[in-house]
A and B are shown apart, each in its own frame.
Chain A
Amino acid sequence: MLRVLQNLDRRWIFLAMLLAVTVPVVAQKAIPEKPTRLVQDAFNVIENLPDGSNVLISLDYEPSTEGELAPMTKALTRHCGLKHHKMFFMTLWPGGIPLIEKNIATILEGELADLKLAYGTDYLNLGFNAGREVAVIVMGTDFKKMFPADNDKVPLDDPTLPMAHDVENLQDMALIIDVSAGYPGMKEWIQYGASPHHIKMVVASTAVQAPQAFPYYPNQLTGILAAIKGAAEYEAALAVTYPRYRDPKYQEAIRRMAPQLWAHLLVIGLIVLGNGVYLAERRRGARP
């Protein structure tokens, strides 16, 4: 047995991982989630803002991390839409433009079509702007210098975009939401946007980046959605306040937690097994 484990082809582990993830995806069994303080604080800040507040939503990711971040984007957009906040979508990543368009089409124009949210009045797609942290710095003093027009090159002073008329700088935003996959993203928004101008900020980050966000909570970040678990907890918080979101078809992140459970059990089992094999080898004198 020990010899088999010592010489185990790693492809068996890949196969085991594939099964650990695939079976729960196909079985579609959901695990109940309860929001933790980090996520509940993020939910509360959006919920407690007066209806129609200006919210800047920067989707700083590309399709490579969409699987992890899209559920967070959807949940946050749903919540802002339900509260009729004025949403200014933008991205510091060039690949983020189609993701903004997809999010608007799916949530604001699809799922929340009954709310009759209008482009230019309730939400705006500012698109991509090159410049990384410099873009954030300039927006801090002169918003329209960085974004003179929306993604379709319509000037922000155009009568069809009334929600942008009174926006002069970042301080006109009641909240910044950054959905972040790396640089430029969360850190740049904290360092150059939220922290110097004392603006409330919520971060939804990839798992890899999440540990970097924790030191900023609660003084510089109001709430954090860390990885797919954060998205699942946010969906749970949304379902508590808004009954329509108790329908499992809106709980994409919660569905993804069952594969997480089985994959993590497998990883824990493999770590224990690997250490067991190592100790057994050492006992037999094969290793120092």
Chain B
Amino acid sequence: MKRETLVWTVLFVAGGLFLVQRAAFTERGMGKVYVIDERVNPKVEEDKRVHFVESRPDPGNERVMVSYPRTVGLWLAAFFTLAIFSFLYRDNVFFKIAESVMVGVSAGWAMASPGFWDTLVPKLAAKLAPDTIREWALPRMEPAEPSLVYLVPLALGIMLLWRLAPRGGWIARWPLAFIVGTFAGIKLTNYLDADFVNQIRSTIIPLVVFAQSGQLDFWGSLRNVGLVFGVLACLTYFFFSLEHRGIAGRVARIGVWYLMITFGASFAFTVMGRVALLASRISFLFDDWLWLIDPSGKRS
């Protein structure tokens, strides 16, 4: 056996023994999800339906019980988290399994839930054949007359899928042209208002700021001057009709510094985001799975 394989085997066996020992032989245990039954509609006496919500462990309450489906889900979540982390060491079969499951589940779910049940059924089929859809899928849907105008999006949708056919792929260009045209129109007007006119308005600010007491607000003034000068400097850098020499060159140079500081801030924010996600997964492993910590009092 290679040394590396031996090290990994020892680590896996030790980890497994630790989990078994914690789960089976300690008083607190680990990795279980408790639920309690609650009436769906407590106001209506005849409605006896119940649903299960997560609860803290409570040996004195008979209604609190271990939910095995949710417990399996918890362990799967822990396994997949560790499997994805294992890629940091190197590519391996556990990472491949986790990656494949993630891709497969996401694609299947996107097609079935948002694609079919949230879009095609209520937004197209329900408009064309409301009675049939109400009977088959949406019993609470209000009665309505069929709206034949929805034949147009149906036809456009079929045309869009035509590109998958061996011949006549050009037919898909018509609905694509419709999508591009409408989106360009929608985007243009609102973008001009929110991101152009309003952004220019935001830079029309007093360069000398006075506090309510009438005194000069030095830091407020400095902030406004920095903002206006920064906008002008960055615009100068992107103004290529003028050679970047002399005063224009120096201002453009300052514009580059502004841009660099902005990119640095973006990078720092990205680091913060990634660390937040890592901390969240670590917290999940130690809190929800291993029960080594309980910062939000879920079990106490």
Residues of A within 8 A of B (CB): 11, 14, 17-18, 21-22, 25-26, 28, 65-68, 94, 105, 109-110, 127-130, 133-134, 137, 148-149, 152-155, 190-192, 195-196, 206-208, 210-211, 215, 219-220, 226-229, 248-250, 252, 255-256, 259-260, 263-264, 267
Q: How far is the CB of A221 from chain B (nearest CB, A)?
A: 11
Q: Known contacts A14-B88, A128-B114, A130-B118: does B272 contact A259 (CB below 8 Å)?
A: no
Considering the chains assembled together, what is the distance between the CA atoms of A260 and B271 in angstroms?
Answer: 9
Q: Known contacts A134-B186, A155-B142, A208-B273: does B198 contact A11 (CB below 8 Å)?
A: no
8 closest pairs, A vs B, by CB? A67-B280, A207-B273, A94-B114, A195-B194, A228-B276, A207-B269, A191-B194, A259-B279
CB atoms of B293 and A137 under 8 A apart: no
Residues of A with C-beta under 8 A to B262: 211
Residues of A with C-beta under 8 A to B293: 25-26, 28
CB atoms of B276 and A207 under 8 A apart: yes
> Does B76 count as interface, using CB distance less than 8 angstroms?
no
Residues of A with C-beta under 8 A to B190: 137, 191-192, 195-196
Residues of A with C-beta under 8 A to B271: 207, 263-264, 267
> Does B292 count as interface, using CB distance less than 8 angstroms?
yes
Interchain residue pairs with CB less than 8 A apart (26): A14-B89, A17-B278, A22-B282, A25-B283, A26-B286, A28-B293, A68-B280, A130-B123, A133-B187, A190-B194, A191-B190, A191-B195, A195-B194, A207-B273, A211-B269, A219-B202, A227-B269, A228-B276, A249-B297, A250-B296, A259-B275, A259-B278, A260-B275, A263-B278, A264-B271, A267-B271
CB atoms of B275 and A264 under 8 A apart: yes
Residues of B with C-beta under 8 A to A137: 186, 190
Q: How far is the CB of A261 from chain B (nearest CB, A)?
A: 10
CB atoms of A249 and B110 under 8 A apart: no
Residues of B within 8 A of A (CB): 53-54, 88-89, 110, 113-114, 118-119, 123, 138-142, 186-187, 190-191, 193-195, 198-199, 201-202, 262, 265-266, 269-273, 275-283, 286, 292-293, 295-297
CB atoms of B202 and A215 under 8 A apart: yes
Considering the chains assembled together, what is the distance between the CA atoms of A213 and B276 in angstroms?
Answer: 19
Instruction: Choose one: B186, B265, B276; the contact of A68 (CB below 8 Å).
Output: B276
Considering the chains assembled together, what is the distance between the CA atoms of A191 and B279 in angstroms?
Answer: 33
CB atoms of A256 and B279 under 8 A apart: yes
CB atoms of A128 and B118 under 8 A apart: yes
* A contacts with B: majority SS: helix
* B contacts with A: majority SS: helix
Residues of A with C-beta under 8 A to B187: 133
Considering the chains assembled together, what is the distance between the CA atoms of A211 and B261 in angstroms?
Answer: 11
Considering the chains assembled together, what is the distance between the CA atoms of A127 and B114 in angstroms?
Answer: 11
Residue ID in chain B nearest A207 by CB atoms: B273
Residues of A with C-beta under 8 A to B275: 21, 259-260, 263-264
Considering the chains assembled together, what is the distance between the CA atoms of A148 and B142 in angstroms?
Answer: 9
Residue ID in chain B nearest A69 by CB atoms: B276
Instruction: Choose one: A26, A130, A206; the contact of B273 (CB below 8 Å).
Output: A206
CB atoms of B194 and A210 under 8 A apart: no
Q: How far is the CB of B298 from chain A (nearest CB, A)?
A: 9
Residue ID in chain A nearest B269 by CB atoms: A207
Q: Known contacts A192-B190, A196-B194, A211-B269: does B114 contact A67 (CB below 8 Å)?
A: no
CB atoms of A153 and B140 under 8 A apart: yes
Considering the chains assembled together, what is the distance between the CA atoms of A264 and B268 in angstroms?
Answer: 9
CB atoms of B277 and A67 under 8 A apart: yes
Considering the chains assembled together, what is the distance between the CA atoms of A148 and B190 in angstroms?
Answer: 25
CB atoms of A130 and B272 under 8 A apart: no
Considering the chains assembled together, what is the distance between the CA atoms of A220 and B198 in angstroms?
Answer: 8
Known: A130-B123, A152-B140, A263-B271. 11 other contacts (CB 8 A): A21-B279, A26-B292, A191-B195, A207-B276, A211-B269, A229-B272, A252-B295, A252-B296, A256-B280, A264-B271, A267-B271
Residue ID in chain A nearest B190 by CB atoms: A191
Considering the chains assembled together, what is the distance between the CA atoms of A153 and B297 in angstroms?
Answer: 35
Considering the chains assembled together, what is the distance between the CA atoms of A133 and B189 in angstroms?
Answer: 13
CB atoms of A155 and B140 under 8 A apart: yes
Considering the chains assembled together, what is the distance between the CA atoms of A98 and B271 in angstroms?
Answer: 27
Considering the chains assembled together, what is the distance between the CA atoms of A227 and B265 in angstroms?
Answer: 13
Considering the chains assembled together, what is the distance between the CA atoms of A5 and B25 in angstroms?
Answer: 45
Residue ID in chain B nearest A226 by CB atoms: B269
Residue ID in chain A nearest B119 by CB atoms: A130
Residues of B with C-beta under 8 A to A17: 278
Considering the chains assembled together, what is the distance between the CA atoms of A28 and B293 in angstroms?
Answer: 8
Residue ID in chain A nearest B38 by CB atoms: A109
Considering the chains assembled together, what is the distance between the CA atoms of A204 and B226 in angstroms?
Answer: 26
Residues of B with C-beta under 8 A to A25: 279, 282-283, 286, 293
CB atoms of A11 and B89 under 8 A apart: yes
Residues of A with C-beta under 8 A to B114: 94, 128, 130
Residues of B with C-beta under 8 A to A66: 280
Considering the chains assembled together, what is the distance between the CA atoms of A147 and B289 in angstroms?
Answer: 38
CB atoms of A68 and B295 under 8 A apart: no
Q: Known contacts A67-B281, A137-B186, A207-B270: does B276 contact A256 (CB below 8 Å)?
A: yes
Residues of B with C-beta under 8 A to A190: 194
Considering the chains assembled together, what is the distance between the CA atoms of A149 and B144 in angstroms?
Answer: 14
Q: How far is the CB of B244 from chain A (nearest CB, A)?
A: 25
Residues of B with C-beta under 8 A to A250: 296
Q: How far is the CB of B291 from chain A (nearest CB, A)?
A: 12
Considering the chains assembled together, what is the distance between the CA atoms of A207 and B127 in angstroms?
Answer: 41
